A and B are shown apart, each in its own frame.
Chain A
Amino acid sequence: MSGPATLPAPEARQSWLIDGVVTAVIAIGAWQALHAYAGEAAIASPLKALRHLSGLVATAGFWSHATATLTAFAGALAISAALGIGLGLVLGLRRFAGEVAEPILSGLYAIPKVTLYPVILLIFGLGLGAKVAFGVIHGVIPITLFTLTAVKGINPVLIRTARAMRLSQADTIRTVLAPAVLPEIVTGLRVGFSLTLLGVLVGEMFASQRGLGFLIVNGISLHNVKQTTAVILMLVVVAVAANGVLLWLDRRFIHRP
């Protein structure tokens, strides 16, 4: 690529790094302070958690729990994305259906979904099905809403341009509509990613014998605070890293107007 404006300014990179370091220092400082206030019985210190985590990741048992969470999460995210994008596209293109559905979806989005958990359990039973379902009900609504908004908000002049260029309907969807709505959908997926993970973990906490969510609650019932803190630490690092990667992909490949 040529052109003077295609590389990010060096100061932009530096400020990213500084922001990251400052945030990490504040987070660790707050954690240490909380540990000092609440004591060893409630929360392990950052150093102890890290040490425990390094021992934990060496055990096979830990990885079988991590795999269980990952399986449920991957399934839930795939279903949320497929369902959310599909539903969002249809509702966005069909104006009337969209106008009816949007307030309903926004209402559902506001419901604390934990209240639905007993119902989910009765329907899907203990195990993978309930975890996936609980992840999906968290992730699917924001993805649907972001997609719907993207389709409804598409700049009409882009569609007029497609008509002025005599594009067929299929070509218009593939080469104009799809790339035009992609940035919003990527944002929706990023939000959906965090919420789906939240749903899966909460599901594991309440009614499961497997998964990282189970390990967190299990640590509390066994007074193994180090285990709970270590697993939380790992989840935070993974979630922040994943969000960072998604943000980087977004900035790298999507050119927002």
Chain B
Amino acid sequence: MAVVAFADPGGGMPATARETHAALRGVTRVYGRLAALGPLDLDLAKGEFFSVVGPSGCGKSTLLDVLSGLGRPNAGTVTFEGAPVDGVPDGVGIVFQEDASFPWLSVRDNVAFGLRRAGMDGAEIARRVDYALGFMGLSDFAGAYPAQLSGGMRQRVCIARTLVTQPRLILLDEPFGALDQQTRLLMGDELLRLWRETGATVLLITHALDEAAMLSDRIGVMSSRPGRFIEIVETGWPRERDSRIVADERFGQITARLWSHLREESLKAIGKSSSRKTSVP
């Protein structure tokens, strides 16, 4: 597997030099006779923003399942903060692709849900929920119900609901997949802000190459099924960054690099093969 590093004038620390936060070792997942994932290795460094891109059906969501403890691998080991993962560990927050807000609860009650179930003190809940609502721009809609909100706002409710539990590892499964392009870019900015302020490790599954190129410290490019990493791209972006880096020439280079791999893999995934190899810029 190749590791490609782009020029790094911003001074970001190479992820390999950092403490490992979560790790997959030789992980495979099989559904019946269908090999969905792996064998696959991954080291997530503490505090990094890691994105996973890959052709559709390559096992990206399976990877998240296994890493989060929602699903178990058929072989290999998964560890989080040094301990083996069995069920979702404390300190891991998950945001799904589908709208997972509870329609019967107001925005405020949605966000407070996890904390109340955990039996936290009411004043502390109110403090955290107010902060999360403010952070996600939902303060004016605290009393509204999900049915009254747009898709982007509902997804923000789900992110806020995860945020209040102060996860140290945040897993996001194509959280902006259903949103329009402008909303997606702005949500990306909010995600970056959240990542910087919380210091959490973030793993983002996405099908959008530009999203991965703009948000990540490192991007894992997956092969078609069974999914493995064929390349890890290090972007070298500074920690202080936002969607305006799409104007940076490196953004185009990174996106092109991702596509050069994915074009071939995507063709395989839809059952075609390209005879003409694409050249890497």
Residues of chain A having any CB pair with chain B under 8 Å: 1-6, 155, 157-158, 160-161, 163-167, 171, 175-176, 179-180, 182, 254-257
Contact status B142-A2, CB under 8 Å: yes
> Are B148 and A166 in contact (CB-based, < 8 A)?
no
30 contacts between A and B (CB under 8 A): A1-B106, A1-B143, A2-B140, A2-B143, A3-B142, A3-B144, A4-B140, A5-B148, A6-B144, A157-B100, A158-B100, A160-B96, A160-B100, A161-B94, A161-B100, A163-B70, A164-B70, A164-B93, A165-B165, A166-B87, A166-B88, A167-B117, A175-B117, A176-B102, A179-B105, A255-B145, A256-B147, A257-B103, A257-B146, A257-B147
On B, residues with C-beta under 8 Å from A are 68, 70, 87-88, 90, 93-94, 96, 98-100, 102-106, 113-114, 117, 140-148, 165
CB distance from A177 to the nearest CB of B (A): 11
B96 touches A254 (CB 8 A): no
Bound together, the chains give a CA A1 to CA B145 distance in angstroms of 11
- CB <8 Å contact, A165 and B114: yes
What is the distance, in angstroms, from B125's C-beta to the closest C-beta of chain A?
14
Cβ of B142 to closest chain A Cβ, rounded Å: 7
Bound complex: CA A246 to CA B219 (Å)? 54
- Cβ of A255 and Cβ of B146 under 8 Å apart? yes
Shortest distance between the CB of A138 and any CB in chain B (Å) = 29
Chain B residues, CB < 8 A from A179? 102, 104-105
Contact, CB under 8 Å: A158 / B102: yes
> How far is B96's CA from A158's CA once the two chains are assembled, in angstroms?
10
In the assembled complex, which residues on chain B have CB atoms less than 8 Å from the CB atom of A175? 113, 117
CB-CB < 8 A to A163: which residues of B? 70, 88
| Contact yes or no, A164 B147, CB < 8 A | no
- Known contacts being A163-B88, A167-B117, is A5 close to B144, with CB within 8 Å? yes
The winner among B68, B96, B98, B102 for most chain A CB atoms within 10 A is B102
Nearest first, the 8 A-B pairs at minimum CB distance are A257-B103, A1-B143, A255-B145, A164-B94, A5-B148, A3-B143, A157-B98, A179-B104
> Using Cβ atoms and an 8 Å threshold, which residues of chain B touch A176?
102
Shortest beta-carbon distance from B141 to chain A in Å:
5
**Contact present for B143 and A182 (CB under 8 Å):** no
